[in-house]
């Protein structure tokens, strides 16, 4: 494919993707009835003509011997919270002991959408995370063993590390910007340290940035790293630049863990493992095709700036 074709493809990516695509839900089960509350970012629904109808067509519940009946539901947009808020009531054939939920929000929003669902029954909480690869899960209201819980959270972090274009494009830019193996190691270490630090701060801190800000900032990190490659080829201390930019990428994982009330260490272990593997892979690949680095950096600059403007105005 010619360089101009790559640029056209890269410029189209921001219109079709979100870094931050996450909704939350809460189910409270009482006997054969359940109340469900949904919080969905408004910007995920701009392309839907009947969001209330479509959303409830893409979440189904089973328990008590059969599928639940949606008795009533009501949704309203809250511009001040930048969210679409819904409440619903379900009736089951009988008392619910285990709750099976099928959620396909990723099919009607964006492919990397994540829905964090918490469910309460008789004072016991359970949790499920739905995305494009996990659309049906069973909530048993039995606390899993510590090992199983930790492994599940590590896997969740691994999936989140590759589920957004911003993460992947920045790792490509990081590999492009490194002028040798030693510099790549230093930049990666600084980036990961800052990313993990800001994520942990967000989990335990009081500040909560808006998802739109997080996404716009992540887009700028891609653009800035491209500028370093194109306009500042001899600039020093790129490891420090990578560290500063890593702070903004940590916000995404921090929001994810805070919303899901997930312990950060196993999630960040999964994130770190995948990102190290990807940077290694990208660094090896770009070492074989150095002549495309400047063309690739130009494409990343187009993507980053276009994405930033689109999300800022959206």
* DSSP assignment string, 123-170: TEEEEEEE-SS--EEEE-SSPPPHHHHHHHHHHHHHHHHTS-HHHHHH
Query: Is the backbone of residue 31 left (phi > 0), alpha (psi -120 to 50) or beta?
Result: left
Contact 68, 100 (CB under 8 A): no
Q: Which of 138, 229, 213, 134 is nearest to 179 (CA)?
A: 229
CA atoms of 47 and 268, how far apart (whole Å): 33
CA atoms of 304 and 216, how far apart (whole Å): 9
Opening angle at CA 252, ends 310 and 239, nearest 5: 95
CA atoms of 264 and 201, how far apart (whole Å): 10
Contact 215, 309 (CB under 8 A): no
Which domains, ranges and CATH numbers included, belong to the chain? 3-17+164-313 (no CATH), 22-144 (2.60.40)
Q: What is the pLDDT along the chain (314 residues), one digit of tens a residue?
A: 344 343 334 444 444 455 567 899 999 999 999 999 999 988 888 888 899 999 999 999 999 999 999 999 999 999 888 889 999 999 999 999 999 999 999 999 888 888 999 999 988 888 888 988 889 999 988 766 677 778 888 888 888 888 777 888 889 889 888 888 899 999 999 999 999 999 999 999 888 887 778 888 888 888 888 888 888 878 888 999 999 999 999 998 998 888 877 889 999 999 999 999 999 999 887 766 655 676 777 887 877 777 677 766 65
CA atoms of 255 and 259, how far apart (whole Å): 6
φ and ψ of 25, to 5 deg: -145, 155
């Amino acid at each position: 494919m010619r360089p101009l074709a790559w640029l056209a493809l890269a410029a189209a990516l921001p219109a079709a993707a979100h870094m931050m695509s996450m909704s939350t839900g809460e189910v409270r089960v009482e006997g054969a009835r359940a109340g469900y509350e949904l919080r969905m970012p408004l910007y995920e629904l701009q392309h839907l003509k009947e969001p209330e109808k479509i959303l409830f067509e893409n979440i189904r519940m089973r328990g008590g011997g059969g599928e639940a009946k949606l008795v009533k539901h009501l949704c309203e947009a809250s511009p001040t919270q930048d969210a679409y808020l819904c409440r619903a009531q379900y009736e089951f054939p009988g008392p619910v002991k285990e709750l099976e939920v099928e959620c396909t929000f990723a099919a009607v929003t964006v492919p990397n959408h994540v829905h964090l669902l918490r469910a309460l029954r008789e004072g016991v909480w359970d949790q499920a995370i739905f995305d494009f690869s996990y659309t049906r899960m069973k909530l048993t209201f039995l606390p899993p063993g510590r090992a199983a819980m930790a492994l599940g959270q590590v896997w969740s972090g691994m999936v989140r590390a590759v589920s957004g274009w911003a993460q992947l494009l920045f790792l490509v830019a990081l590999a492009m910007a490194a002028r040798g193996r030693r510099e790549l190691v230093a930049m990666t270490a600084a980036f990961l340290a800052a990313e993990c630090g800001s994520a942990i701060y967000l989990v335990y801190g009081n500040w909560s940035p808006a998802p739109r800000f997080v996404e716009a900032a992540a887009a700028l990190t891609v653009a800035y790293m491209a500028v370093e490659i194109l306009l500042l080829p001899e600039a020093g201390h790129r490891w420090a630049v990578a560290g500063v930019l890593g702070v903004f990428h940590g916000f995404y994982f921090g929001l994810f863990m805070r919303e899901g009330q997930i312990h950060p260490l196993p999630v960040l272990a999964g994130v770190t493992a995948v990102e190290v593997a990807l940077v290694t892979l990208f660094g090896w690949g770009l070492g074989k095709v150095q002549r495309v680095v400047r063309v690739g950096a130009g494409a990343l600059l187009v993507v980053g700036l276009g994405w930033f403007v689109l999300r800022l105005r959206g």
